[in-house]
Chains A and B, each alone.
Chain A
Amino acid sequence: MSDGKASERTYLRDGPDLTGAPLHDKLLATWQDRPGFWGWAGSVDHKSIGRRYLVTAFVFLSLGGVLALLMRSQLASSNLHLLGPDRYNQIFTMHGTTMMFLFAVPVMDAMAIYLVPLMVGTRNLAFPRLNAFSWWMYVAGGSMLWIAFVLNVGPDAGWFSYVPLAGPEFSPGKRVDFWAQMVTFTEVAALAVAVSITATILKGRAPGMTLARTPLFVWAMLVVSLMVIFSMPAIALASAMLMADRMVGTQFFNSYEYGDSLLWQHMFWFFGHPEVYIIFLPATGFVSEIVQTFTGRQVFGHTAVVLSLVATGLLAFGLWVHHMFATGLPRMGYAFYTAASMAVSVPSGIQIFCWLATIWTGRPRFTLPMLWVVAFIVTFVLGGLTGVMLASVPVDLQVHDTFFVVAHFHYVLIGGAVFPLLGAITYWFPKFTGRMMNERVGRIAFWIAVPAFHLTFFPMHFLGIMGMPRRVYTYPGGMGWDTLNLVASIGAFVFAAGVVVFIGNVLWSARNGEPAGDDPWGAPGLEWATTSPPQPYNFPHQPVVLDATPLWNPERAVARGLRVEDREVVLTTVFEARPDLREPSPVPTLWPMIAAAATTVLFVSSIFAPWAVVIGSVPVAIALIAWFWPKDRSHEGEPVVD
């Protein structure tokens, strides 16, 4: 129907007659960003945005890391007064907030934004302008929080901002408002990415890439994106309620006016617990990809791993109350949430056994990415075990709010997510930059960071059992805590040195590393089927997938017939990935940036005046309308009614 008129006009299409250098020139002209700042600012290329997301996340990691070192300096010995209590409160709040909202979630988004379109074999993300918008929102929110902190208006009620402490009565001033509004920024950003990734995975997979043949990292990101969609509205709503209580006098959390402070905890953890898996599941995706490549075989129990990802995603929504064991719950609530918390260790266990079986039955090569995987398995299992301990109510009540909990979640978050991330960066670095990371320096970084991590956090288990509470700015001597704290502080500085060596290696290798070629590891995924780094159009011809490990298959196929003078992608069916439509892919534009700027004005000014929400929405609406209004008919064409 639609091609009735279109057939009168002929479009240039790829195929055996248009391939190689002439095709490259045409596609480059179509897909390349304009040079200069405005070309960069208007880019909708997922690789450009993924790269800047990654760099931004590591900037925030560094900032959060400096705060950690400040805290460890303060706690190295008893009765130190490097930092006062007020500054310390801001620092531990900023550390947690930065690491969770501005590093952990965005860095996983960054990897997915860069890799998912390449792994599923398409030219760009679905909704690429939404993706561009998300980066601007993320940067604006993170910058706002850090500027406030530098101006001594940093949040100081902890990264989960419990009321009544964070409410209007006990936290006057604007500190908590900046925290709540930073949450709004990052939720908008994360939701935008989640929508983009979900649609790309469901509709943008290469012809032949059935769900069963979809790479495990892509599966992980599908589950994670759906988890973001179902969990982030909770914190967006909760932080709006908190701001309303603080700004316009609503009574949601005020028990004197029939409100309830536990409502905050429920809403926060309904988001906060899935958040942990939103950070952890992408990392399991990295591990699956790395293990597959370096054992030379498909991951053992591919289906079991996929089902484990889905099961973790579902169970993650049934555990939030285990963060609230100390609030006094009905006995049935204790039993249910203990059982659910223990149950979630089962799918994680299944994944670990599948990786071990893959290594056992494959031919493992212990390259640097694999070393990080081994460090991950060891560290994460330790963190997982303390998690099972904490699921038990009597244990939880004893160690609640102590350093035992601090040790536990650093084991699962650093061991479970950061170690695989560093492995993943080493693994995909050749694809990002066209060069290999220096193996020797990488091993040095590894052997500094991993033992130092355990030196830092293992003693915290004992500190917690010995009763040292978290979030105290100092402690008296004679408690028996001095030595273990000193060990942890030394470990923290050595760990930071390891991370610095890693980042130094990244910076050095990006310029001076050995040239990598398309597929330096002999990996099977589609992302290795194109050049390193990929061209703006990703693949010269649309790849067609014949099995789950396409590059290990001696037979390869590509499709013909996509338009080359306009941005066009193929859409496939959800389950079978049968080719279904050719849809135009949006061209670069500055409107997402302008819309983000207008939204930033709205969000920041609403911290100071509630009416800014109403007035500020006018420029936002104008920017969004201008964004969606079609500007150039030549890019779309193929009309049906004239």
Chain B
Amino acid sequence: MASAPPTIQDFSLDLAPLETHAFGHRSLTWWGIVAFFLIEGTAFALAIAAYFFLMDKDSAWPPPPFAPPDLLAGTLFTILILLSEIPNTLVKWAAEAYDLPRVRRLLVFIGLIGAVLMVLRAFEFNSLNVLWHQNAYGSVVWMLLVLHTTHILTDWIDTLVLAALMFTPHGTEGRRFVDCSENAVYWRFVWLLWLPIYVLIYWLPRLVN
């Protein structure tokens, strides 16, 4: 079917008045971040499924003579990462209010919290009471912790880079505030994912035995 030549070449829609950035689901950045949530969330869900699959095949969890991980480092880490949501929410609000000085201060503060979290995380590896090569239990516990460490390390570096960027002239652009807001959303995802992993690593081995 050959099309007839178009009769109207209409210019009635004018795009010029549209805004050039927006927060939340109106921005492309948000959709990119959601896609990465889904990818990483699926990877974590499957790692958790693998944990239960292996646990189901095993008569004891952890298999004797191994003891469950020590609680101190992981619990301190969990408390601190939950508290970090306070400055995280504040930086999101500050970004959406285009309050540059406040965004700068809070990003630096969150960067410092991230540094403390990384130190605590190092102690966590030391408190697992099992090595990755000793049995499948050790392998899967280490996998969960390594995966989450990669996750938090990535977002921590991302936050540091963003903090540095906001101290440059680029920080005055509207789109950079969108980046700060979306980075805060990402941080929420990082700590939300941590909660089930914390339970699996530290508490389930205590509860099932």
Contacts and interface: CB of A to CB of B under 8 A. Distances in A.
A184 to B, nearest CB: 12
Interface string B2-38: 1110111111111111111110011110011001101
Contacts of B27: 571, 581, 583
B177 interface: yes
B50 A263 contact: yes
Interface string A438-466: 00000000000000000000000000000
B39 A257 contact: no
Given A195-B32, A267-B46, A559 B13 contact: yes
B87 interface: no
Given A6-B20, A296-B1, A581-B20, A250 B54 contact: no
Contact of A248 (B16, B36, B54, B132): B132
Interface string B124-143: 00000000111111111011
Contacts of A249: 132-133
A114 interface: no
A556 B42 contact: no
A258 to B, nearest CB: 4
Interface in A502-551: 519, 522, 524, 541-542, 544, 551
Contacts of A574: 25
Interface stretch (A83-91, A330-338, A405-413, A624-632): A624-632
Nearest to A195: B35
A257 B39 CA distance: 30
A34 interface: no
10 contacts: A13-B16, A199-B31, A233-B46, A519-B3, A555-B8, A557-B12, A571-B27, A582-B15, A640-B177, A641-B98
Contacts of B1: 296, 363, 522, 552
A15 interface: yes
B3 A557 contact: no
Contacts of A194: 35
A579 B22 CA distance: 13
Given A2-B20, A580-B26, 10 more contacts: A3-B17, A229-B38, A251-B138, A251-B139, A260-B136, A552-B3, A557-B9, A557-B10, A579-B13, A630-B170
Contacts of B13: 207, 544, 557-560, 579
A583 B28 contact: yes
A13 B18 CA distance: 13
Contacts of A637: 173
A277 B32 CA distance: 24
Interface in A238-259: 241, 244-245, 248-252, 254, 257-259
Contacts of B22: 580-581
B63 interface: yes
Contacts of B175: 584, 636
A633 B174 CA distance: 12
Contact of B16 (A199, A561, A630, A642): A561
Interface residues of A, number: 82
Contacts of A259: 54, 135-136, 139
A16 interface: yes
B16 to A, nearest CB: 3
A100 interface: no
B131 to A, nearest CB: 9
Contact of A199 (B2, B35, B58): B35
Interface string A191-203: 1001100110011
Contacts of B7: 554-556
B11 A15 contact: yes
Interface residues of B, number: 66
Contacts of B35: 194-195, 198-199, 229
A621 interface: yes
Contacts of A560: 11, 13-16
Nearest to B45: A233
B54 A579 contact: no
Interface string B47-79: 100100110011000010000000000000000
B119 interface: no
Interface in A256-288: 257-260, 263, 266-267, 270
B157 interface: yes
A160 interface: no
B173 A639 contact: yes
> 6 nearest interchain CB pairs?
A561-B16, A249-B133, A296-B1, A556-B6, A250-B139, A561-B15
B134 A257 contact: yes
Contacts of B21: 2, 581, 583
Given A3-B20, A263-B54, A636 B31 contact: no
Contacts of A524: 3
Contact of A126 (B32, B133, B137, B172): B32
B100 interface: yes
B82 interface: no
A258 B6 contact: no
A150 interface: no
B165 interface: yes
Contact of A640 (B12, B15, B161, B172): B172
A252 B139 contact: yes
Contact of A641 (B16, B40, B100, B138): B100
Nearest to B55: A258
B31 A126 contact: yes
Nearest to A544: B13
B83 interface: no
A401 interface: no
Interface string A554-580: 111111111000000011001000011
Most buried by A among B31, B58, B161: B31
B28 A571 contact: yes
Contacts of B161: 625, 628-629
A363 B1 CA distance: 9
Contacts of B17: 3, 561
B170 A260 contact: no
Contact of B8 (A245, A552, A556): A556
A237 interface: yes
Most buried by A among B26, B36, B139: B139
Interface in A587-642: 621, 625, 628-630, 633, 636-642
B204 interface: no
A254 B32 CA distance: 38
